[in-house]
Structure formats: structure tokens, C-alpha cells
Chain A
């Protein structure tokens, strides 16, 4: 059974700091991995999608990397802003699980002005 773990569970940083969120998964036979952002009481917004054949994806100040063999992904946020405050979730789609996603518990990020 695929398990997805995110560390840390919560993170508080001052504005402007660069930060890294971690996601690990137990089954390396993944189809893809997706990072989401969730604001309180809202749905999920997709940030980055990394296919199993890719090593990283970038969008603006966000960079996500994927190391299938070690079962890890990181989300790097550069020059953090108060507007980045949210819960960040990683989700893995296995090759054999059909279309279902397995989510981590999330990292709650607070960026202080």
C-alpha cells in the first residue's frame, strides 16, 4: 500500500526566505506526482505536475523535483511571500492504481510579514 509522508507538518518563516517542503512515498512505481495548494475552507489548486520520467518542474518561484528511486519529492519556494501561506499537499498516482491519488497529510506554511 502506497504511503505518502510530508515533512514538516507545519512551517513558519519570515517573508523573503527560501524554503523547501518534503514529500516521500513508499512505492517508487509511480505514474506521476502532483503538488497542490489549499487555502483554508477552499479546494485544491494544482501547482506542479511531475511525470515519472521527469526530474523537475518549475513555475515562477516554485520548483518541484522528483527522485523516484529514493521515493522523494521536494517543493522549493523562492523568496516567500505572505500570500504563499497555505497548506501544501503532495499526491502520488501509482502506475497500478488506475486513476486514484494518494495524498500526504500536508505542510501548513505560514509566511510572516
Chain B
């Protein structure tokens, strides 16, 4: 089973400042088709999770362009260029390369 390690566990942020979360995989998530099979999700308080980034770097429909995903192989990063108050919640990376999906443990983003 592929293990995803997210850091940090908790991230206090200042509105208007940038923020980043990393996700490290125990195995390469690069498919032979050249795509990285990693997504990023945000679960806001009291809501269902929502898709932010899919296949490593593709922003989902309706997601603000302050969110971006990067990385390849085993190391991935989610960046928020300028944090807004509505960005608080728990962020998860997820991989679906093999026949078993796994999630990172989550990063809780809070406003300072």
C-alpha cells in the first residue's frame, strides 16, 4: 500500500500571505502515461470535501487560481499564493495510481 506523508500537520496562516503543504509518497505516483496520480482536497468546517487539484497540477472547475499544485514522482506541493479566510480547513492529498486509494493524514490550516 502506498503511504502518503503530509507536512505540516498544522499550518497557521496570515491572510494575504502565501502557504504551502507538501505530500511525500512512499512510491512514485508517475504513471507510464506521464501523469502523476495525485489529487488535493479541502474539507472546510461543516462541509463535504471538495476537489482542488487533480492529476498533480490541474485545477478543478471553479477553484480560484491562487491554488496551484506541482511536483512529480514522490514529492508534491500544494501552494496558496495569497491565503484568504475562506481557505481554512483540512487539506488532504490522495493517490489513485494503484488499485488501492490512499490519503495523507491531512493538514489543518487555520488563520493566525
Chain B associates with chain A: no
- Show the binding face of B for A, using Cβ within 8 Å: none
